[in-house]
Amino acid sequence: MEWSLLFNSFIGILAILNPIGNMPIFLEYVENESPNVQRAVALLMSFSIFVLMSVFFLFGNRILTMFGITLPAFRLAGSIMILLIGLRMLQGKSKFEQHGIETAAATGNTFDKARDSLSHILVPVAMPLFIGPGSITTVILYAEKCETWLMSVMMILMLFLSSCIVAMVLVSSQYIFDKIGRNGTQIVIRFMGMILCAIAMQFMIDGIAQLFPGVLDTAFIHTGVK
């Protein structure tokens, strides 16, 4: 089993999901809700993120085939998108700048209110804030590197673990934001941006290696690339 690939996928997916960087935007959209409803929305959204990532992981390649897109082309295009996201994070720019919207339900229990809020903010918070072109690209590219069913199962577990971390961050978002403040949030965003830029360059190297086999030094190519 390629533990390095699993670790790399976990770091890459977590970086592009960027729960710390997206935390202020999530808070902006649920600021009118009670703490219990905010936590319930965070859990429901994290589960939705896991389901979306799993769908793209399992069926992403079939979608590419349907549109006649080759893996090297998608790998190179995806690396450019991930690089742009990483550069934007290094510059400390948010994906959204609009103000929050009121989503509080007038009646019902905590779950009903959370479900109502999620229906309003699933787009644009879950998609494309968390599950955007970059994260879809990353999941599909890692799925392409899984050569056995065991690796696929372990990769889905990595997606689940990443979603759990997103859930923990969002549930604790108000507490975390109060502790680290805006400066701390910007530091985390920039660090994760650097990680994404490095991952994007690796994807680009792997894509070129697929187009021109034997040209690049194999020491710089991920072992999952044929």
Q: What is the pLDDT of residues 144-194, one digit of tens each?
A: 888 888 989 999 999 999 999 999 998 888 787 778 777 777 787 788 778
Q: What pLDDT is recorded for position 128?
A: 61
- Which tens digits make up the pLDDT trace of 49-98? 999 899 989 998 788 788 887 777 777 887 887 788 778 778 765 544 44
pLDDT at res. 78? 75
Position 136 scores a pLDDT of 81
Alpha-carbon Rg for the chain in angstroms? 18
Q: How far is CA 125 from CA 22, 38, 94, 118, 138, in A?
A: 9, 14, 12, 9, 19
How many helices and strands (H and E) does the chain possess? 8, 0
What pLDDT score was predicted for residue 97? 42
What residue spans define the domains of the chain?
3-220
**pLDDT of 106 strictly over 80:** no
Which of 27-41, 100-114, 128-142 is the least confident region? 100-114
What pLDDT sits at residue 109? 66
139-156 pLDDT, tens digit each: 888 888 888 889 899 999
For 137-203, give the DSSP string.
Answer: HHHHHHHHT--SHHHHHHHHHHHHHHHHHHHHHHHTHHHHHHHHHHHHHHHHHHHHHHHHHHHHHHH
**Residue (of 82, 104, 86) closest to 33 by Cα position:** 104
Model pTM score: 0.66
Q: What pLDDT score was predicted for residue 223?
A: 45
* CA neighbor of 133 nearest in space, from 92, 188, 95: 95
CB-count exposure of residue 97 (10 Å: 0-12, 13-18, 19+): exposed
Residue 102, Cβ density class (10 Å: 0-12 exposed, 13-18 middle, ≥19 buried): exposed
Select, from the ranges 8-22, 75-89, 92-106, the one with the highest average predicted confidence (pLDDT): 8-22
Give me the phi and psi of 214, to 5 degrees please.
85, -5
